[in-house]
Amino acid sequence: MRILVTGGAGFIGSEYVRRRLRADPAARVTVLDELTYSGVEENLAPVADHPGYTFVRGDICDPDVVDQVMAGQDAVVHFAAESHVDRSIEGAGPFVRTNVTGTQVLLDAALRHRVGRFVHISTDEVYGSISEGSWTEGWPLAPNSPYSASKAGSDLLALAYHRTHGLDVVVTRCTNNYGPYQFPEKVIPLFIIHLIEGRTVPLYGDGRNSRDWLHVSDHCRGIDLVLHGGRAGEVYHIGGGTELSNHKLTGLLLDAFGAGWDRVEHVADRKGHDLRYSLDDSKIREELGYVPQVSFTEGLADTIAWYRAHRSWWEPLKRRAALR
């Protein structure tokens, strides 16, 4: 199978590419990535010598580039997106351009080239916030940030191409990912790095905000299941099964470093900060046999060890992203 992976130099995309190429000597994967501030070609160095790997630097909003890389592909796995909520609050333009317009350009090209399957990677944030229970795939979308609104728009656009044009589209929505190679602005690597450096960690508000945590390798296994077995025109949730408040997560990280709560700096809460996310992922479990394999205890310990061992990877990225 020839697969085009957009955003394949990012955190989740690079895990997917590494996983696929390591598992299959005959795999053919083309990565399209613009290498903006959060795209790191070094993330793909472990598979750079694979004979089926091709890297193309380009913008998913550029129809000419997209048309060239789409030709001959059997499937698209579309990760490329602007994804940091705080940045979307500061300026929504890049999020609308990349997440909505970029998705439309890709869908048009996939339709022209008769691509067999288009897997659109999305997020639980499109649903807004839920006080109790869990969202099912048919739950109405109610995004609260410019980022999540742009992702909701791209989801609906992708599904519309299935209904209007018959394009084989499947949408996945995941919970919060963590693991190696995650860009340092996200909460788990940010806190780990601050603790490695002996600094305080910035906890939003009172820390009551709650998220379900999904190891990136489990997420990519779920995506593969959907790529090969999901039903066209459907949405599939991919969850991790570990719901934690930010306060609890902070405590676990402090404990891992032998640090106390004096290392926590309480900062003003994010605008429109969703209180709780929770996905019902019974559909992918029942239809495709998905079960998370990495426990949060194991995954967090491995992630901390990875950041300890890869300071040369994250220090330049902190400077690139202008993180304190």
Q: Which residues are catalytic?
A: 124-125, 147
Task: Point out which residues pair with 177 in neighbouring strands.
Answer: 214
State the Rg of the chain over Cα: 19
* DSSP sequence for 258-299: T--GGGEEEEPPPTT---B--B--HHHHHHH-----S-HHHH
Residue 232: C-alpha distances to residues 158, 174, 200, 291 (Å): 11, 18, 47, 21
Q: What's 127's DSSP letter? A: G
Reduced to 3 states, what is the DSSP secondary structure of residue 143? coil
Cβ-based neighbours of 98, under 8 Å, separated by 6 or more: 60, 61, 80, 81, 82, 150
Beta strand 242-245 with 210-215 is antiparallel
- 321: part of which helix (H) or strand (E)? none
Q: How many CB atoms lie within 10 A of CB 138?
A: 7
Residue 270 tokens read as 């994010």
